[in-house]
Amino acid sequence: MKEIVVISGKGGTGKTSITASFAMLAGPEIVTADCDVDAADLHLLLKPDFRIEHDFYGGFAASIDKSLCIGCGICASVCHFDAIVENDSIYSVLPIHCEGCGYCTEVCPSLAIQMHDRFTGKWYDSTIKTQGRMIHAKLGIGADNSGKLVAKVKKEARLIAERLGAEIILIDGAPGIGCPVISSLSGAALTVLVTEATMAGFHDLKRVYELVKKFNIPAGCIINKVDLNREIAEDIRDFLKSEGIPVLVEIPYDEIFYQAMTAGKTIIEFSHNAIAEKMQKAWSETLALIG
Amino acid sequence: MKVAVASGKGGTGKTTLSVNLASYIAEKEPVVLVDLDVEEPDSALFIKPDHSSMLPIYKDIPVWDAETCQLCGKCQQVCAFNAILKLGREILVIPQLCHACYACTGLCPTGALTMQPVQMGELSHSTHKNLSYVESRLLLGEEQAVPLIKQTIFFVSHTFSKGELILFDSPPGTSCPVIEVMLNSDLIILVTEPTPFGLHDISLAVETAKSLDKCVAVVINRAGIGDNAVHDFCKANDLPLIAQIPHQREIAELCSNGELVYQKFPEVQRELDKIASYIAEFQGK
């Protein structure tokens, strides 16, 4: 079982549209996972049926029992997140600031503070339009710990893949370089880097690739919107060459990405065209890379 | 006044709007642009600041002293983030998992754990005429953006006066990094594109902002692609749709080169003017 993680550093490079096209081309044999949990869009193209829904509790928050609180304020003095506030000698927790460390519960002399599980979001086990399985999630509004929800999605995708004997898990990764993307990358056999021929696209590609390199994960790259800026496209090619990263495919700027998305379709379904052929090539190259 | 430019979805034009709006406003009055997308800060590619001053930004993590430690294991027991492990006669600290809550150091009976600073990022700042620019950059391998965002906002609040207009170029998404920015903003301008992805992600961003009791205004970027669902969403939810930046390949080409677009596209400047007026009016209220 091998995990292919599609990431981009920068948003809006076409990562999700490309992942969805790969899922269509791969068919029902693979398991798909959406690890971009706080702006999850893959379901808009792959139309999962949200068949099984689970709540996920990924952290803790403190709460103060007012009947036990003696108003000493020790809790507020030790909290490094300014999460405990006083109003007329009555102390309470601001959940949005509470990191769930539990320091306050340890120091409370009247045992008035308890830690409870905090709702992080929901995750789903679905069947998508290819009849394949997809694990995806929705982060709760204002919720913390998206990295843990990403880890949960990956874990469930692995369990399903094992049970079904699927050889490939295709993962739509998170943007950035912080905990959600680090969590997306753990255990990956290959990363597909999606970039665009813009200064910002190139800058973010270099940063996220440093991370991929740190984890020793092999990579291939798709250069999208390649004709938007020919000089930057050339700089990207030089960079990829110097790092030994194969170019899976180059895709010209095309509004079909928006048109297909608006129709709720992947590029593959939308029409038989040059871009769909590029996707086909990119997927074959990706499969060749993981062997 | 602090205004956050945020989006939910990445790649909708947060940075493009932030840098163009800041530069446009700076033609007449002072403005501070702060890139808080600390994982992937891109505003500098457009602003091209020179003579930046750099400051290393630190977070505190516990350091173990074997001599004074009694190996009671209290630190491991109280750490909610699994950042401390007691392995045989050693205490091991995993800095990436530490949230700097100070529980281990505060509760250690012998004072064997002390908090010491390690660098997590760097902040740079510069001023050119009316435009001040501040950026923070998370070091590679650091997982937590929020402490760096907090310290950057702290720096900005203590460096610039309350009366100045401060624009935050926010991180994407709707989780903790964006929430930290929204909490510290008076007004949130959400940039979206008129597509199903844009609609889905802005609806989450609106819910997030509302859960924090924040005022929201919407800007549509790449107006002309996709459909009318974002317009309908704004209408149905009573959200002010304050500007629509037209979709043109030529605009995307200019942006790709790190260039500002409003001087060359009067239709973009017109929309920036609407946003600037909205902010001024909001500030007046």
Q: Which pLDDT does position A100 carry in this prediction?
A: 95
DSSP tag of A191: E
8 A C-beta contact, residue B27 and residue B220? no
DSSP tag of B116: E
Nearest CA-CA distance, residue A196 and chain B, Å: 9
Chain center to CA of B60: 21
pLDDT tens for A44-91 read: 999 999 999 999 999 899 999 999 999 999 999 999 999 999 998 899
Residue B249 shares a structural domain with residue B217: yes
- Per CATH, A2-47+128-290 and A58-119 having the same topology is answered no
Q: Give the Cα separation of B137 and B120 in Å (integer).
A: 9
pTM above 0.90, yes or no: yes
pLDDT tens for B157-184 read: 999 988 899 999 999 989 899 999 999 9
Residue B194 shares a structural domain with residue B217: yes
- The pLDDT of residue A281 is above 80: yes
Percent of the residues in chain A that have a pLDDT greater than 90, as a whole number: 91
Burial A38-75, CB ≥16 within 10 A → b, else e: bbbbbbbbbbbeeeeeeebebbbbbebeeeebeeeeeb
Nearest to B125 by CA among B154, B152, B98: B152
Q: Give the Cα separation of A165 and A116 in Å (integer).
A: 37
Residue B248 shares a structural domain with residue B127: yes
Residue B154 shares a structural domain with residue B212: yes
8 A C-beta contact, residue A177 and residue A10? no
Chain A residues whose CB is inside 8 A of the B80 CB are: 60, 100-102, 115
8 A C-beta contact, residue A102 and residue B99? no
Asked if B188 is an interface residue toward chain A (Cβ–Cβ < 8 A), one would say: no
Nearest to B267 by CA among B248, B252, B251, B245: B245
Asked if B183 is an interface residue toward chain A (Cβ–Cβ < 8 A), one would say: yes
pLDDT band of residue B113 (cuts 50, 70, 90) is very high
Nearest CA in chain B to A255: B225
Q: Which pLDDT does position B96 carry in this prediction?
A: 86
Q: Give the Cα separation of B19 and B17 in Å (integer).
A: 6
Contact A264 B179 (CB under 8 A): no
Residue B8 shares a structural domain with residue B50: yes
Q: Give the Cα separation of A205 and A213 in Å (integer).
A: 12
Optimal mutation site among A80, A82, A214, A254, interface B, most CBs of chain B within 10 A: A80
Residue B167 shares a structural domain with residue B42: yes
Alpha-carbon separation of residue A228 from A196, B24, B85, B250, B256 (angstroms): 8, 25, 51, 9, 7
The average pLDDT across B207-224 equals 97
Q: What is the CATH number of domain A58-119?
A: 3.30.70.20
- The helix (run of H) or strand (run of E) holding residue A104 is helix A103-107
Residue B99 shares a structural domain with residue B238: no
Q: What is the CATH number of the domain that holds B154?
A: 3.40.50.300
Nearest to A114 by CA among A68, A82, A151, A181: A68
Nearest to B161 by CA among B51, B2, B272, B52: B2
Nearest to B36 by CA among B185, B243, B162, B159: B185
What is the Cα Rg of chain B in Å? Answer: 22
pLDDT band of residue A144 (cuts 50, 70, 90) is confident
- The helix (run of H) or strand (run of E) holding residue A61 is strand A52-64
Contact A96 B212 (CB under 8 A): yes
Q: What angle do CA B86, A156, A121 make, to 5 degrees?
A: 85
pLDDT band of residue B193 (cuts 50, 70, 90) is very high
Domain contains B61:
no
Nearest CA in chain A to B255: A198
Domain contains B60:
no
Asked if B109 is an interface residue toward chain A (Cβ–Cβ < 8 A), one would say: no
Contact A176 B212 (CB under 8 A): no
The average pLDDT across B218-223 equals 98
> Which two three-digit tokens encode residue A13?
């490079």
Contact B175 A44 (CB under 8 A): no
- HSE (side-chain half, CA atoms, 13 Å) at A7: 33
Asked if B196 is an interface residue toward chain A (Cβ–Cβ < 8 A), one would say: yes
Q: Give the Cα separation of B230 and B42 in Å (integer).
A: 26
User: What is the count of residue pairs from A and B with beta carbons less than 8 Å apart?
Assistant: 180
Number of domains chain B contains: 2
Which of B76, B93, B111 marks a domain boundary? B111
Domain contains B188:
yes
Contact A261 B195 (CB under 8 A): yes
Residue B19 shares a structural domain with residue B153: yes
Question: Pairing mode, if any, of strands B90-93 and B215-223?
Answer: unpaired
In DSSP terms, which residues pair with A194 in a beta bridge?
A222
Comparing CB atoms, the residue among B81, B142, B175 nearest residue A139 is B175
Domain contains B116:
no
pLDDT tens for A33-50 read: 999 998 899 999 999 999
**List of E strands, chain B:** 2-6, 31-35, 53-64, 84-87, 90-93, 113-128, 131-138, 165-169, 187-192, 215-223, 241-246
Asked if B179 is an interface residue toward chain A (Cβ–Cβ < 8 A), one would say: yes
- The pLDDT of residue A145 is above 90: no
**Residue A215 CB: number of other CB atoms within 10 A?**
13
What's the N-to-C CA distance of chain A in angstroms? 12
Residue B9 shares a structural domain with residue B31: yes
Q: Give the Cα separation of B248 and A233 in Å (integer).
A: 20
Residue B172 shares a structural domain with residue B264: yes
The average pLDDT across B94-101 equals 92
Comparing CB atoms, the residue among B99, B174, B177 nearest residue A101 is B99
Q: What is the CATH number of the domain that holds B74?
A: 3.30.70.20
Q: Give the Cα separation of B52 and B66 in Å (integer).
A: 42
8 A C-beta contact, residue B114 and residue B63? yes
Comparing CB atoms, the residue among B197, B207, B208 nearest residue A41 is B197
In DSSP terms, which residues pair with A108 in a beta bridge?
none
Contact A228 B253 (CB under 8 A): yes
Residues 16-55 of B with CB under 8 A from A: 37, 39-40, 42, 45
pLDDT tens for B14-29 read: 999 999 999 999 999 9
Contact A12 B12 (CB under 8 A): yes
Chain B residues whose CB is inside 8 A of the A258 CB are: 193, 195, 222, 225-226
Residue B102 shares a structural domain with residue B153: no
8 A C-beta contact, residue A208 and residue A181? yes
Write down the residue that tokens 């199903």 correspond to: B196
Residue B215 shares a structural domain with residue B261: yes
Nearest CA-CA distance, residue A91 and chain B, Å: 19
Chain A residues whose CB is inside 8 A of the B106 CB are: 78, 103, 107
Optimal mutation site among A13, A19, A94, A101, interface B, most CBs of chain B within 10 A: A101
Domain that holds residue B72: 66-111
Asked if B223 is an interface residue toward chain A (Cβ–Cβ < 8 A), one would say: no
Optimal mutation site among B9, B37, B40, B96, interface A, most CBs of chain A within 10 A: B40
**Domain A2-47+128-290 adopts which CATH fold?**
Rossmann fold (3.40.50)
Comparing CB atoms, the residue among B45, B179, B183 nearest residue A203 is B45
8 A C-beta contact, residue B100 and residue B61? yes
